[in-house]
Structures are given as C-alpha cells and as structure tokens.
Structure 1
Amino acid sequence: MLPLLVAAGIATAPSASADPAPPVIGPAAGSSVPQPGEDAEVTFASGDVTLYGTLRTPVRPRSGVAALLLPGSGPTDRNGNQPGVPANTLGRIADDLAEQGIPSLRFDKFGSGATGLAGLPQNRLVDFGFTDQVTHAAAAATLLSDRTGVPVDRLTVIGHSEGGLTALALADRGIGHGGVGLVEPLPMRYLDLLTAQLNRQLDAAVQDGRLAAADAETSRETLRTSVRSLRETGKLPARPDPLLASIGLVPANATFLAEADALDPVRLADEIPATTPVLLTCSDKDLNVSCDQVGPLRDALDHTALRFAHLANANHLLGELGPFPPGRLDVAVPLPESVEFGTALREWSARLGG
C-alpha cells in the first residue's frame, strides 16, 4: 500500500508492498455512542475479489431508504480508518443514519481491512484500476438492495473524499439516485487536484528552506510530464522523480491514476437527475480540499435538490476542531465528530425517501 500525499488525502491503487506508511494528516477521532441497531458481518463478490463489510440495521428501519457508504483514498477500511488514523468517519455516518432509521452498508475496500489484497497475484495488482473500485461499489449496492428491498437506482450513496468520485461514478451507472452525499469530495479531475496540492507543498518547502528552488522546479516539471503521459498514454515515465514516487506516482499505479483522472466530477455532477437529493460539504479548515475548489462542483449541482453545507470547524476527516487551527498533527488528537457536519447530515437524511 502507498502513503497518502502529505495533507492531500490522495493515494493511489494498492500495491504488493508489505505495510503502509502512516499518513501524516488527519485526526484520530474519539469514540462515538452507537445508535440503536444491529451490525451484521457480510461478504460479497466482485469478479475474483471477495469483499467484507458491515450491514447496519436500525431497530425501526425506515421503508424505502438505505445508504451505501464509500471511503476515501488509501487503505481506508469500512469505518473510514487507516493504520495510525482511527478517524471512524464512516462508522460515525452509519451511527447518524441509524438515528434516522436508515440502514447502511459499509465495506473494506480493496487493499484494506478484512478484504486486504484478496490473495491476488502481483500481475493482477498492477492492473487494478479505479474502474475496478467502482465495480466493487456497484456489487456492494446490489447486496444492499437485496438485503433491504430498496432498488439500486433508489439507494442513497454517500462518499467521503475520493469516495465522492466513486459515488458520482455510480450515479453515472444509474445507481444511487435516491440520494447522493458528497462529503469533502474530490471536486476536480484527480491529477489536477494532486498537482495543486503538490505545488502548494513545494512552495511551502522552498519558503521554509527544506527544499532548494531548483529542486522544486525539477519536481514540478516531472509532474507536468507525468500528468501529460498519463492522459495521453495511460502510462508513467519509467524513472519518476523520487518525490513523486513517494506519493504514489509510479508505473504500478498508472492504471488507477489514469482511470480516476479520466472522470470529471463536475461533468458527472451535471448529469445527476434534477430530483435527486444531494448533500455537498466543504470546510474552511479542510487542508485537503478548499471550499473555493468545491465551487464549480456546487454550481454543477444547482439543478438538483441540493443541500450545501459550508462548514467552519471540521477538518478533512470530519473531526471537530472548534476554535483551533488545522494542522498536520491533527492525526494525534482524539477529535469528536464535527457538530456542523452531524447536524447537516441528519437534517438532510431525515428528508430522504419522502
């Protein structure tokens, strides 16, 4: 597995390396009080991969509503956790939805949790792409539909970070028109966001003397060449810059990067049916995605039944920062769920299926 890009929330496809390097951004979240309901372990197949997840059934489930929860980038499991980052992002969303009587399914994406690498050989890992990730999510939607009786086109799909792009891709396949939740989502093409994030970090490294200006410019040029190559050929240069390799821009991840980048979130948002309830969030203290970057996505969703929540004090993993500034060490602090986000989610979900 590959580490997250520093303060970026972007990671790429699973690799066959042993243990993931711990990411350097994101909070460790505090525990939450489970809402009434029962968690049941489930498995489902997608091609030659068996995935493992949890089906949450509230004590009094609402009729006609069920939600599929999709994690962000990197080795993120069914609860929204990574090694060293127990954020519990999706676990808390399942709690919030259960409070509204909404059943939900969350699962360990490929490369994480009980699913792991599914025993696949090295050559299959190299071929793993974003399209596979979406297909796995579609299989999860089928299971959720079978267990709840809600048709796949009427399911609600909620994606956090990179999971927002997965949710939009599912909507493009006709899955999840009962509601689409885009929570601190990837708001532009994958490689455009990665470029913006890396350039910001290079600027900071030059400014504080950690990196020479000439070395930063070399990395920028290699990044431009890499993005161009991915978009034109689907491949990366054979000898990438060491800094870019450290964030996952290596040939083994070319398929995932090229396939994810080929999808434009703004275009996909524009295709969502007008009657679809949509929740879109951004936060002033999200170091990964800014509210300005989310603006074009918001505009593309204006034709839908949109609930836009502009948060003030949540970090990218939806931890409550209160009056404190965001920082790279948030990962070491046990944070409760953002009050603003929890309120927005419950208000939006209370109206689903109406």
Structure 2
Amino acid sequence: MKARIFLTLLAFLCLHQAWSQSGTTPQGTPMDLVTSTGTIKGTLLLPTSSKPVKVVLLHAGSGPTDRDGNIGPYQNNSLKMLAEALYAQGIATVRYDKRGIGESKDAGKKEEDMRFHHFVEDATAWVQKLKADKRFSKVVVLGHSEGSLIGMQAAQQAKADGFISVAGPGKSADQVIREQLMPQPKMVQDIAFPILDSLVAGKLVPDANPMLQALFRPAIQPYLISWFQLNPQVEIRKLKIPVLLVQGTQDMQVSTAEAQLLKEAYPAAKLVLVENMNHVLKPASADKAANLATYSNPELALSPTLAQEVTAFVKGLK
C-alpha cells in the first residue's frame, strides 16, 4: 500500500503491536492514573506559579502513538514540543501513554478485548483527576487525530472547561478508511468495502482476505465495530464548552474539509487553518517525500502558529 495508507490505517489499527520505546526520559514530573487493569503513565509539566494554573490534557493520535507523539521509528516529538511550548507560556500540560502503549503497556487489554470506549474512559478519568487537583484552575482537553474523537467524548463526559481538536477527522472512521482506499486498485476496494459494510452493521468477518489482515484481522474487528459507530459531527454537538478546531493545510492524512465538517456541526467553534502544517504538526511542503520525512525528524520545530493559537485559546478561557 502507499505511504499514506501505511501511516493512517496501520497506525489506526495496530493498537497492541507497538514498537519498543527508546531515548531519553521525558522531561517533567511523572503522573499516573491507576485503573482496574493497570497503571497508565503520564508526564506533568507544571509551570512555577503562586496560583492555580490552567492545564491541557494532551491525547495522542491513533495506534501505538506515545505521549510524545512518536510511533516507533517515527520520532517527531510533536506532542512533547507542544507541551514545552505551552509550559513556556505558563500553561501546564499532562500527556500520557495510552493503555497498552509505552510505559502503559501493562495496563493494556488483549487486542480482542479492546473497545474504543476504553480509551474514552481513560481520558475521562484523567480529566476528572485534573479537575480534582487544586493546582489547576481550568482543564482543557486537546485531542490529536483519532484522539480528537476520544477527547471530545471525554470533555463532554467529565465536563472539561474547553476542547481542542487538532487534525481531527470530521467523518466516522469507516468513511475515512473508505476514502483512503480510493486510490488503491479496484481489486483492493472490492475486498475491503464489503468487510467495512459488515463491520459497520456490527457483524464480524472471521474469513477476511489475508491481503488485508493488517486492517481487518479477527482480533481487531470488535474494536473497529465499536469505533465505526461514532460520528464526530454528532459527538461534537454534545459539547457545551468553548471549542478550538486546528487543521494544517499540508496534512496528508486529514484534509481541511474534515475540520470544516466539525465547524459546521459546532458553529460556535473557532476554526484555524494553519498554512503548511502537516499531520505531525510540523511545517511541510506538498512534496510527499519531504512531508513524510518530517515524521521522523525530532529536531524540526513545531509550526509556530499551532502553539500560538492553543495558547490564546487556553488563556482566553474565563
């Protein structure tokens, strides 16, 4: 499959096939969330202040993306950089490895037992934990990519003070997958689309074609069924809080049209299109090879507009 399909679909679906993590210990103070299946490990960056500060909970994107925004060999440190940029502006952040990923690996369930709502429950518990912490005056949820849908549900359920979607799809996941399969040969579509139809209908497909095992292996299908039932346009309407929508114009995985759909569903939201920002929140060109190179460049700085807009939104909350 093409690079775009690899980076989206395989990242979305390889929930428990994470690579080993390496590198230096993330900066900040360890912060944990204890769950019934294990401890979820996070990092708190807390600016020095004599008063409570606003805090942003950062929820990473799809698949085995860790708290810093990295997927195995694709080290870009996007979420780590965003956390540090907000820290410099006096805003606290908490970012964490999802269950089954990185230092939270032991909290993971078996792949066949995972459902989308498990990630929502974790994010909701984080928001509740932060709201109960007297060091924080406001709690904002920021979800990147798949984390946008998780974050908007957690923000609604735990009554966060604000929500930020960064590169969040505006369509249901099955529709996103269909669109990303359109450039593939018709043979691939003819195999994949009926499987998608069955999963959307809540029916397992035990004999999925081996060609598409990475996407539709039996163990991942229950998770997909739970995920496909959710429509971001429906979920975002449930929010009654300030919302910021941020989308890069050079994102090869999520188009600006997706952000427009979320804006139409929640007209009160502020929509910011960041020129030349790609899916890993870095400046990039339309050249695919150059764009993809940023996914594994941890030295390349974030798009400055992103941190500016997030900072302004958080500081503007009353």
TM-score scaled by structure 2? 0.87
CA contact (8 A) 2:57 2:127 kept: yes
Q: Which runs of 5+ in 1 are unaligned?
A: 23-30, 203-215
Q: Which runs of 5+ in 2 are unaligned?
A: none
Q: Choose the corresponding residue for 1:226, options 177, 185, 195.
A: 195
- Give deviations 1:77-134, integer Å, cap 9, x for gaps: 11111211122122122122223322221111022111114375xxx43111111111
Q: Tell me the distance in 1 between the aligned counterparts of 2:50 and 2:65.
A: 27
- Give deviations 1:204-261, integer Å, cap 9, x for gaps: xxxxxxxxxxxx22321222211111122242x2222334223x32111112211111
Question: In structure 2, the residue corresponding to 1:260 is in which secondary structure?
Answer: helix
- Pairing 1:344–2:309 present: yes
Aligned length: 309
- Give deviations 1:244-296, integer Å, cap 9, x for gaps: 223x32111112211111111001112211xx221111122000011123221
**Alignment partner, residue 14 of structure 1:** 15
- Give deviations 1:42-89, integer Å, cap 9, x for gaps: 222222121111111111276362221100001111111121112212
Question: Does 95-104 or 162-171 show the bigger shift?
Answer: 95-104
Q: Tell me the distance in 2 between the aligned counterparts of 1:224 and 1:129.
A: 22
Taking only aligned residues, the RMSD between alpha carbons, in angstroms, comes to: 2.7
Q: State the identity as a percent.
A: 24
Amino acid corresponding to residue 245 of structure 1 in structure 2: Q
Q: 1:241 to 1:330 in 2, by over 3 A?
A: farther
Question: Does 58-67 or 107-116 show the bigger shift?
Answer: 58-67
User: For residues 176-187 of structure 1, what are the structure 2 equivalents within 5 Å?
Assistant: 176=160, 178-187=161-170
Question: In structure 2, the residue corresponding to 1:44 is in which secondary structure?
Answer: strand
Q: Tell me the distance in 2 between the aligned counterparts of 1:87 and 1:234.
A: 37
- Pairing 1:311–2:274 present: yes
Question: Does 325-334 or 280-289 show the bigger shift?
Answer: 325-334
- Pairing 1:175–2:159 present: yes
CA contact (8 A) 1:40 1:55 kept: yes
Q: Which structure's relative contact order is higher, taking Cα pairs within 8 Å and 6+ residues apart? A: 1
Question: Does 339-348 or 4-13 show the bigger shift?
Answer: 4-13
User: For residues 57-96 of structure 1, what are the structure 2 equivalents within 5 Å?
Assistant: 57-60=46-49, 63=52, 65-96=54-85
Question: Does 6-15 or 224-233 show the bigger shift?
Answer: 6-15
Q: Tell me the distance in 2 between the aligned counterparts of 1:130 and 1:163.
A: 11
Q: Tell me the distance in 2 between the aligned counterparts of 1:61 and 1:245.
A: 54
CA contact (8 A) 1:100 1:349 kept: no
Amino acid corresponding to residue 145 of structure 1 in structure 2: K
CA contact (8 A) 1:85 1:331 kept: yes
**Alignment partner, residue 103 of structure 1:** 92
Q: 1:174 to 1:137 in 2, by over 3 A?
A: closer
